[in-house]
């Protein structure tokens, strides 16, 4: 899987930038960038990749990322109830921000330590999430010196919080990922490219990794935090939801195009995971709004790793 380098909108004159998007559909690649990033997602669940960590997240997600730590969020967009919005607020700032002499003083010590720890990626929760959410909403509209002071207060809140967990494993290096990180990305890519084949099975990926079926199953569970079977069902179910909303295909056609091998099993799983029949799901979501590309920065926002920078 390629990791793309993002060209962020941060200018040399900026202390930080805030990107605030509503219903962005997560249509961007796995990527990294030189800047540090605080990402907040609310109103939707999905899957998050940060370094060698792949986890499901639920509704409210707040993550602090260090420089060049690759990442991507996927949201269960097609499963969103009609009319329910979700929001993504991102703050990006330069790694050299705290090199100034003033910011080397004692009051900024905890923040400087925070910037060292975030190299693994940190997920914050509880009251810290609630506090930071309110501050990030304010920062999305504030300008001038008041916003700078609020930004430093936000970092101070994060630096004093004990409500966090690390995401990437200890010793993980964004510049040279470990073999397990590469292998889970290969597995993830293979599943995304082949999930519509109803004959795909765990032994296919085990062979790809030169592992036994049982070893691969344990490996996948450890790194993806889902069993291979559950992960595959989730991918197929999301694609089926997309076809129900974006196409006029019949339920039978959608069943087989999504990788399920019989309609009865498809209907049973759909009822289990979406709590209604496929036809009812289509009826409940008759209108599927188009993605608004106006929020994209530039056509060349993302550059594949190793490509020349212009």
Q: Are strands 164-166 and 122-124 parallel, antiparallel or unpaired?
A: antiparallel
- The one-character DSSP state at 308 is P
Instruction: Name the domain boundary from 174, 200, 217.
Output: 174
| pLDDT given at position 181 | 57
Does residue 190 form part of some domain? yes
CA dist 45 to 26, 48, 51, 58, 65, Å? 12, 10, 19, 4, 19
Helices (H), 38-178: 109-117, 126-139, 144-160
Same domain, 89 and 189: no
Predicted structure pTM score: 0.60
Tell me: do 159 and 277 sit in the same domain.
no
Are the CB atoms for 57 and 106 separated by under 8 Å?
no
- Please check whether residues 10 and 140 belong to one and the same domain: yes
Chain Cα centroid distance, residue 112 = 25
Q: Is 100 inside a domain boundary?
A: yes
Same domain, 54 and 124: yes
Q: Are residues 36 and 170 in the same domain?
A: yes
Backbone angles phi, psi at 176, to 5 degrees: -140, 90
Q: What is the pLDDT of residue 57?
A: 92
| N- to C-terminal Cα separation, the chain | 23
Based on the domain organization, do 17 and 158 belong to the same domain?
A: yes
Domain boundary among 174, 205, 225: 174
Angle 131-72-122 from CA coordinates, rounded to 5°: 40
Give domain status of residue 218, yes or no. Answer: yes
Question: What integer pLDDT is reported at residue 182 of this predicted model?
Answer: 66
Query: Is residue 141 domain-shared with residue 28, that is, in the same domain?
Result: yes
* Domain hosting residue 267, numbered range: 179-284
Is 290 part of a structural domain of the chain?
no
Residues 261 and 154 in one domain: no
Give residue 290's pLDDT: 45
The contacts of residue 81 (CB under 8 Å, 6+ apart) are none
Position 106 scores a pLDDT of 81
Domain count, the chain: 2
CA angle 233, 75, 1 (to 5 degrees): 75
Print pLDDT tens along the chain (310 aa).
567 778 788 888 899 999 999 988 888 888 888 899 999 999 999 999 998 888 999 889 999 999 889 899 999 888 888 888 999 999 999 988 887 776 777 888 899 899 988 999 999 999 999 999 999 999 988 778 999 999 999 999 999 999 999 998 876 766 544 456 567 768 877 888 899 999 999 999 999 989 999 999 988 887 666 788 888 888 888 888 888 888 889 999 999 999 999 999 999 999 998 888 999 888 877 654 444 433 444 434 555 554 444 4
The CATH number covering residue 222 comes to 1.10.10.60
CATH number of the structural domain spanning residue 140: 2.60.120.280
**Are residues 155 and 209 located together in one domain of the fold?**
no
Please check whether residues 146 and 24 belong to one and the same domain.
Answer: yes
Q: Which two tokens stand for residue 40?
A: 């907040």
């Amino acid at each position: 899987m390629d990791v793309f380098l993002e060209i962020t909108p941060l200018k040399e004159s900026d202390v930080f930038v805030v990107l605030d998007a509503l219903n962005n559909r997560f249509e961007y690649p796995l990527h990294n960038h030189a800047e540090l990033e605080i990402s907040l997602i609310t109103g939707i669940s999905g899957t998050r990749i940060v370094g060698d960590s792949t986890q499901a997240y639920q509704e409210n997600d707040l993550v602090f990322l260090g420089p060049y730590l690759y990442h991507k969020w996927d949201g269960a967009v097609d499963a969103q109830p009609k009319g329910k919005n979700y929001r993504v607020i991102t703050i990006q700032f330069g790694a050299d921000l705290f090199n100034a002499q003033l910011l080397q003083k004692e009051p900024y010590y905890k923040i400087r330590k925070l910037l060292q720890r975030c190299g693994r990626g940190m997920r914050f929760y509880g009251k810290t999430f609630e506090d930071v959410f309110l501050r990030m909403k304010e920062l999305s509209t504030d300008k001038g010196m008041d916003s700078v002071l609020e930004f430093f207060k936000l970092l101070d809140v994060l630096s004093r919080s004990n409500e966090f967990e690390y995401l990437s494993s200890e010793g993980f290096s964004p510049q040279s990922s470990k073999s397990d990180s590469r292998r889970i990305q290969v597995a993830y890519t293979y599943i995304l490219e082949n999930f519509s084949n109803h004959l795909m099975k765990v032994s296919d990926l085990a062979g790809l990794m030169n592992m036994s079926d049982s070893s691969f199953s344990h490996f996948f569970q450890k790194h993806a935090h889902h069993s291979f079977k559950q992960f595959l069902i989730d991918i197929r179910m999301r694609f089926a939801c997309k076809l129900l909303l974006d196409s006029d295909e019949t339920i039978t056609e959608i069943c087989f195009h999504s990788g399920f091998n019989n309609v009865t099993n498809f209907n049973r799983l759909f009822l289990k995971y979406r709590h209604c029949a496929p036809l009812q799901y289509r009826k409940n979501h008759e209108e599927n709004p188009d993605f608004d590309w106006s929020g994209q920065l530039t056509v060349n926002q993302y550059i594949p790793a190793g490509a020349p920078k212009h």
